[in-house]
């Protein structure tokens, strides 16, 4: 989790520095880097009992191209235009909506750890406001 967080933050900072590059180039290089970094895991994991059919590949290709690539292009363009600070503030909405959708669709209330995490995020925002 820590490595993913560091990667997410460093990607945002790098995107801001590379605002002169086209959005498509930044997105493609991000996905190529992610694919290369995951390659060792694919080579060393056992895949004996996996059956791959053509019909199962279409949803995977769709999920890779449409929502993932489109979201990547939108995120990169926003970071290049408005900055990483705006994007980090927007990312606070993601867990809130995840909790709301889990409650609406699955009738699942957050566990105690989610409430603690929410408290820590709000505490961090409060402390940041105090320092200004």
- Among candidates 53, 72, 50, 51, which has minimal Cα distance to 63? 72
Residues 131 and 69 in one domain: no
Look at the chain and count its residues: 132
Q: What is the pLDDT of residue 75?
A: 82
Mean predicted lDDT score pLDDT of the chain: 81
Residues 71 and 33 in one domain: yes
pLDDT over threshold 80, residue 87: no
Distance (Å, whole) CA 74 – CA 90: 13
The larger pLDDT score, comparing residue 19 to residue 36, is at: 36
pLDDT over threshold 80, residue 88: no
Residues 86 and 105 in one domain: no
Residues 96 and 77 in one domain: no
**Does residue 49 lie in a domain region?**
no
Residue 65: HSE in the Cβ half-sphere, 13 Å Cα cutoff: 6
- Among candidates 77, 105, 75, which has minimal Cα distance to 91? 75
pLDDT digits (tens, 9 = 90+) for 40-84: 888 887 777 777 788 888 998 898 888 888 888 888 888 888 877
**Does residue 15 lie in a domain region?**
yes
Residues 86 and 110 in one domain: no
Percent of the chain surpassing pLDDT 90 = 2
Number of domains composing the chain: 2
- What range defines the domain where residue 31 resides? 1-42+59-90
Q: What is the pLDDT of residue 132?
A: 60
Q: What is the pTM of this model?
A: 0.59
Distance (Å, whole) CA 12 – CA 127: 23
């Amino acid at each position: 989790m820590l490595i993913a967080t560091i990667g997410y933050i460093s990607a945002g900072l790098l995107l801001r520095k590379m605002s002169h590059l086209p959005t498509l180039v930044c997105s493609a290089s991000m996905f190529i880097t992610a694919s290369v970094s995951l390659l060792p895991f694919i080579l060393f994991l056992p895949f004996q009992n996996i059956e791959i059919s053509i019909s199962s590949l279409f949803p995977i290709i769709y999920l890779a191209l449409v929502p993932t690539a489109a979201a990547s292009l939108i995120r990169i363009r926003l970071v290049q235009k408005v900055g990483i600070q705006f994007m980090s503030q927007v990312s606070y909405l993601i867990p809130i909506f995840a909790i709301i959708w889990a409650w609406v669709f699955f009738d699942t209330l957050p566990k105690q750890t989610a409430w603690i995490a929410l408290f820590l995020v709000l505490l961090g925002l409060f402390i940041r406001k105090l320092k200004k």
